């Protein structure tokens, strides 16, 4: 008996909307990463991108547990000497709230070409509107 692999045309990709208002960041990121990788499907294959598209709205209203609102620091390196830039969670939320959710989800995806391909199916918006109504996304609730 041979194993069947889904072909490119046989993979069905659904669209999902997740409302991030008052949702813990880690729970949101893990659920979105599972959908992007396709682990919720019976046709999941580790070396193929069988995942769905994920739209996240209200990214600016995501919450953190414990004292992480005050302690969490986001860092990135510009590539120049002395170019380590640090910003607190509150600063990042004020200037670019989408970055918070994107980094959390990207950290849970594979660090390969396949992970980058999965990440491209993620759309994050700070407000409650998105331009993907034509794809007829289904609403997912995270508790």
User: Looking at residues 43-69, what average pLDDT do you find?
Assistant: 94
User: With left for phi above 0 and alpha for psi between -120 and 50, is residue 136 left, alpha or beta?
Assistant: left
The answer, yes or no, to whether residue 1 has pLDDT greater than 80, is no
User: Looking at residues 3-14, what average pLDDT do you find?
Assistant: 87
Looking only at the bridges linking them, the beta strands covering 73-77 and 84-88 are antiparallel
The answer, yes or no, to whether residue 99 has pLDDT greater than 80, is yes
Q: Is residue 108 part of a domain?
A: yes
Q: Is residue 69 part of a domain?
A: no
Question: How many folded domains does the chain comprise?
Answer: 1
Using CA atoms, how far apart are residues 114 and 16, in angstroms rounded to an integer? Answer: 20
- In tens, the pLDDT along 35-53 reads 999 999 988 999 999 999 9
For 32, the token pair is 């979105």
Which residue did the predictor score with more confidence, 85 or 4? 85
Percent of the chain predicted with pLDDT > 90: 89
Give the predicted TM-score (pTM) of the model. 0.92
Q: Is residue 110 part of a domain?
A: yes
Whole-number average pLDDT of the chain:
95
Using CA atoms, how far apart are residues 68 and 93, in angstroms rounded to an integer? Answer: 13
Domain that residue 136 falls in: 15-63+96-140
Q: Is residue 135 part of a domain?
A: yes
C-alpha closest to that of 125 among 106, 142, 100, 107: 100
The answer, yes or no, to whether residue 3 has pLDDT greater than 90, is no
The answer, yes or no, to whether residue 18 has pLDDT greater than 90, is yes
CATH number of the domain encompassing residue 56: 3.90.1180.10
Strands (E), 1-112: 15-19, 53-57, 73-77, 84-88
């Amino acid at each position: 008996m041979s194993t069947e692999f889904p072909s490119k045309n046989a993979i069905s990709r659904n669209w999902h909307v997740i409302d991030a208002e008052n949702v813990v960041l880690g729970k949101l990121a893990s659920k979105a990463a599972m959908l992007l990788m396709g682990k919720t499907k019976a046709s999941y294959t580790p070396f193929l991108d069988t995942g769905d598209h994920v739209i996240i709205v209200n990214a600016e209203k995501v919450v953190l547990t414990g004292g992480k609102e005050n302690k969490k620091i986001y860092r990135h390196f510009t590539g120049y000497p002395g170019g380590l830039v640090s910003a607190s969670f509150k600063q990042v939320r004020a200037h670019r709230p989408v970055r918070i959710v994107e980094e959390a989800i990207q950290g849970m995806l594979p660090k390969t070409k396949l992970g980058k391909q999965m990440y491209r199916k993620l759309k994050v918006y700070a407000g409650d509107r998105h331009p993907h109504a034509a794809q007829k996304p289904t609403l997912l609730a995270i508790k």
